[in-house]
Amino acid sequence: MAGVSYYAAAAAGTGRPSVVQFGAAPNRSRWVSRTRLRRRNAGGRFGLDSNSELQVDVKPSSGSMVEIELVATNTGSNLALHWGALQPGRSEWVVPPAGIRLPEGTIRTPDDAALRTPFKNSGSNSTLKIEIDNQGLESIEFVIVDEAQNKWFKNNGQNFQVHMRPPAGHHHQGQQHSATAGSIGRKNRDVMQLLSKNASTNDQVNKAAEATPSKCTVLDLFIKSLQEKHGSQVLCKKVFKLGEKEILALMSQVQGSTKVHLATDHVEPLILHWALAQKPGEWKAPPPGIVPAGSTLLEIACESPFSDAELNGLHYQVLEIELDDDSYKGMPFVLRSNQTWIKNSTSDFYLDFSRRTAKSSEVTLPFSFSPILAKNLLQKSSQNPMLIFFPCIKGTSDDSKGTAKALLERIADLEEDAQRSLMHRFNIAADLVDQAKDAGQLGLAGLLVWMKFMATRQLIWNKNYNVKPREISQAQDRFTDNLQSLYKMYPQHREMLRMIMYTVGRGGQGDVGQRIRDEILVIQRNNNCMGGMMEEWHQKLHNNTSPDDVVICQALMDYMNSDLDIKVYWDTLNKNGITKERLLSYDHPIHSEPNLKSEQKEGLLHDLTNYMRSLKAVHSGADLESAIGTCTGYTSESQGFMVGVEVNPVKGLPSGFPELLKFVLDHIEDKSVESLVEGLLEARAALRPLLLSSTERLKDLIFLDIALDSTVRTAIERSFENLNNASSEKIMYFISLVVENLALSTDDNENLLCCLKGWNHALEMSKHSDDQWALYAKAFLDRTRLALATKGEEYHDILQPSAEYLGSLLGIEQWTVNIFTEEIIRSGSAASLSLLLNRLDPVLRNVANLGSWQIISPVDVAGYVVVVDQLLTVQHKSYDKPTILVVEGVKGEEEIPDGVVAVLTPDMPDVLSHVSVRARNSKVLFATCFDPKILSELEQNEGKVLSLKPASVDISYREIPESELLVSSSIDTVDGQKAPSLSLAKKQFLGKYAISAEEFSDEMVGAKSRNIAYLNGKVPSWVSVPTSVALPFGTFETVLSDKINKEVSQKVKILTEKLDQGELGALSEIRNVLLNLTAPTYLVSELKEKMQSSGMPWPGDEGEQRWEQAWTAIKKVLASKWNERAYLSTRKVKLDHSNLSMAVLVQQIVSADYAFVIHTTNPSSGERSEIYAEVVKGLGETLVGAYPGRAMSFVCSKNNLESPKVLGYPSKPIGLFIQKSIIFRSDSNGEDLEGYAGAGLYDSVPMDKEEQVVLDYTTDPLVTDCSFRTSTLSSIARAGYDIEQLYGGSPQDIEGVVKDGKIYIVQTRPQM
């Protein structure tokens, strides 16, 4: 291996980039390296900055001497090595270490903590050589300093570390690894180099699919004309390929008449040679009375000419046959063009009439069902009549919502042909790629679903058709070539295309498939096994090889390795889904068990091991060894196997890449998988640039990446047992590896990469014994879980509708359809990551003293347990008895249903979210449960009566009899009294369309505006209040009644009457109609004058379009009076909705660094001496608008405002940012009504759209800089305290922002 340079190790084992630290001192504490460099001729390459690298070579010299040579390229002339040596198991630097010949110029640092050695200049490079003769030393650790510029070069914030010898006790399993003990190094690269931002959102995908419908063919138009013009009911249809053209065969029924229609876009004149059949395989001449004009009756058939026709300018040929009898089962036919006979490949065409059975059974099957499903259902329904009414089988158009409907129905039409052989299936799939592409991501989702059904053996692979392996291989090759083309052209679909390719083998032209057929003969001849099971398998391989053959081959090898234990053979088959019945179902069945002899074992194992390469080359998309061989090249080695085969390496592979892949293969069976996974990820990261370019043989590289990805997953799963007693640092490191792997497989991976950076930082904190490490890691654990949940929802939204619709068309068993998306997720890294997170979560909660619960609203309650999926789905339900809801999902903006006394959830809404405030106002127990076991126990108590008593971080519960509940609980009364009724006084228009802050009064604006005006001039000088004006109460009603809005007013009146009659759908209609309001000129002029006189910019000065933007935002605020949540909330407390008046507060937006909400009394504990606040990066909408994830939360004693205590670090993945703009805030007379708490029900709308930014908390000083955090949080707490004092000590709910260290208060109201 001389001269081989492996990728260099990061000292921290994270493989993250080296960074330049200006003026930073080096880190002396040692990080146990997870990336050992090789003992012999090992080396590493580190990036120092964008133009320079550090090359490290470790070489043996004489005896036990080790020579370390460092070369820094393209650097200045003043570099020095700041370094020390490490002993095994020790973290302190040994300075100066014995047995080291200190290079010339080496000095000790003044604190005796390190050595400082200058590099020697050599051209543009700097070099240094260190000789070490001390077997008690394990490694050296160092940073590099440019002394002239005081610039420190570190390895992603860590010291560089170079290992000279494997540490004590470090070894690998198996003799085959003795020569390569240790780990491959990770190349030093910036995590964000792995960034991919190509993904479309679901909305964009759906819009694209709607905007680009598939182009209608003349055959589509023909079907449409039959249905529209003639009222025909289509009973069954079938489309067959005629080269580049098609023929449609269709049976319809209209007014009691049953007809067969044939239509084709074939150009040359055609003759139909046809018959009728009353049993399969029969050709029976039709009765003379039904043959079309111009036909010729033959002995067992009839020949009928097609007629020319035209639709929308498109030419086609058509033929119609009216049937006279219901007894026919189908129609066989072939075609003749001049003297050329046209068949369906090598078979007759056949239109199956079996769907007509539904008529006699009085069962109506949906139009969109394929003949296969119709037949299957009607056969099975004789045993189970309810099968026809299974929920997934519907005939409504809603079944196909969210799918590429036309494509899925086309697949269903072609499935019968696809079942003939895998060659047919892959060729059909190749033909459908363009249609899938035109349908966007939903089209590719349809292809994936179909291929996944195939791969999981839900569809027939071969039926009455013999096909050569090379023909299957060529069809695979054609299909995957088409997918490769899409991969190059559409980066936003690469994730989906990888998933499709994962389900399909690689395939290949020429002899790739033929080898399967030829080499089994070599195996039989070499090992004298020409009969029995081996001969039966040989016949199957000759005529219809499939992925099952990979399993059969493995089962044979396992059988021989177990000393011919037949149980092992069957275990391998059964674990991989192959039963005895399946073996017998092949067109060439395998009846026999293997009956081999011990003397055949060695030769067979050798030959089958080689044969497996051929099988996997065709059938396996995720086999690592064959994928590596295809990319790095190989030449035939075994006599009789792959004779004359030479596969050339892919051009342009990174330097050292083949050696890296060899390292991976050498360690593939290691019991300790850490080094293997590092090598796999290094290979994936090195491969990534090639995957993003139009590389030659891109398909081979994609399959290699898929194989590397799959091997990471299986290696991680293999490591779970070893991690049972692992440290939290070890688990966190494994989590970081899996997050990296997932990011490398994901189209839109910015959030995952930010999670990865967070985990690396958490490891840093843990290693440095930072007392906040567990709390910080818990935030990234929550964020990572949220990322997984979001990805799961995305997959479900894109894939599950297609799985359900296509499953219904093809008759797939319902249980398979139900778990389709779940199984897709299980097949990737997400499932492994979830298990690791679950293992770490209780450890972090214990270290951070978080307990199993977060109590958001502490109330002792009792009630009946009810389990629901989402609070949103029951928020407007009324429970007639005290109810404890155990809820899987809570977003943060929901209402608490009537009759509910407790909401318990694993979800994590902010403590200051709308639903949290609602719970506290309603005296409802509201808590987040972090322990899945506790939550599961509560769910198992569904229907029982429980008493719940919350403590600070726990809830105790016990079952109680119903009689005790009846005595202790009352839903509608407090101390025997009914809750007071609420009322709103309708506000009048007082003649002004716009007012300044000095004019704010309770008759003109709500408390939100009045409180801002009150604070102005009273808050301390270091706190600012934004300038404000308002559109007062009554403005909206006056504008609506203006004659220029007469039409809008009439529509609103009609819709309001509908609403009063209970038609809630009218709410969205009202909001849409109000967006058509026109602003009267006097409103525009008054608002302009008030804004300008108050020093605010007037949007119209930037053009009429800018004013229209502002007016649209105002209308949206006014229209929010009719949003569903607000309307139902007023109805719930019996408020007259018509009396609710809306003012609009107008403020200039502060481009916030951070936004916060303060409660000056701790809402969770009720402690009045303690301030509670939540902070988010960017604008406050992510905090008050129920965006997913948690804000940073802290408490601060009013007696010690300089010492805030962080309760939780942020996990919100998204921040909102905006440049100079105006915001229009709702300010209704209901928002601060005591007992109603309408705050947050109505909308505040900025004039400009906010920018969504994925947040990287590892660069956020509020998270990483302790002094900045303390200063900022202390300022926020002090502002809250001072404002509370302005209101006489009355608890306040305050919203504000931080910009460049300055505090701005945007609103305050009494804390509810």
Of the candidates 667, 914, 1137, 1159, the residue annotated as catalytic is: 914
| Pairing mode of beta strands 245-254, 257-264 | antiparallel
Residue 311: strand, helix, or coil: strand
- CA-CA distance, 1280 to 882, in Å (whole number)? 37
Record the tokens describing residue 713, joined without a space. 């997953």
Inter-residue contact 1208 to 1192 (CB < 8 Å)? yes
Where does residue 464 fall: left (phi above 0), alpha (psi -120 to 50 degrees), or beta otherwise?
left
- CA-CA distance, 335 to 838, in Å (whole number)? 63
- CA-CA distance, 1110 to 599, in Å (whole number)? 88
Q: 44 Cβ partners below 8 Å, 6+ apart? A: 5, 6, 7, 8, 9, 37, 55, 56, 162, 185
Rounded to 5°, the CA angle 938-943-947 comes to 60
What type of residue is 436?
A
H helix and E strand count, the chain: 38, 49
Inter-residue contact 1232 to 1239 (CB < 8 Å)? yes
Bridge partner list, 311 = 314
Q: Which helix (H) or strand (E) holds 1166?
A: none
Q: Count Cβ neighbours within 10 Å for each residue of 235-267 and write b for 16 or more, e otherwise.
A: bbbbbbebeeebbbbbbbbeeeebbbbbbbbbe
- CA-CA distance, 678 to 385, in Å (whole number)? 55
Inter-residue contact 1177 to 1154 (CB < 8 Å)? yes
To the query of whether residue 177 is one of the catalytic residues in this protein, the response is no
Bridge partner list, 337 = 340
- Would you report the helix, strand and coil content of the chain in percent, each value rounded to 5? 40, 20, 40
Nearest residue to 188 via CA among 56, 292, 84, 354: 56
Q: 1279 Cβ partners below 8 Å, 6+ apart? A: 1019, 1020, 1023, 1158, 1294, 1296, 1303, 1305
What type of residue is 844?
L
The number of CA neighbours under 13 Å toward the Cβ of 924 is 25
Record the tokens describing residue 814, joined without a space. 């319902």
Gyration radius (Cα) of the chain, Å: 37
Inter-residue contact 1024 to 1015 (CB < 8 Å)? no
Record the tokens describing residue 874, joined without a space. 């029951």
Q: Decide: residue 1006, CB within 10 A, 0-12 exposed, 13-18 middle, 19+ buried.
A: buried
- CA-CA distance, 1202 to 1192, in Å (whole number)? 17
Bridge partner list, 863 = 946
Q: 1079 Cβ partners below 8 Å, 6+ apart? A: 1039, 1111, 1114
- CA-CA distance, 1016 to 1028, in Å (whole number)? 10
Cβ neighbours, 10 Å, residue 376? 17
Record the tokens describing residue 667, joined without a space. 């360690």
Record the tokens describing residue 190, joined without a space. 């910036």
Q: Decide: residue 575, CB within 10 A, 0-12 exposed, 13-18 middle, 19+ buried.
A: exposed
List, by residue number, the catalytic residues: 914
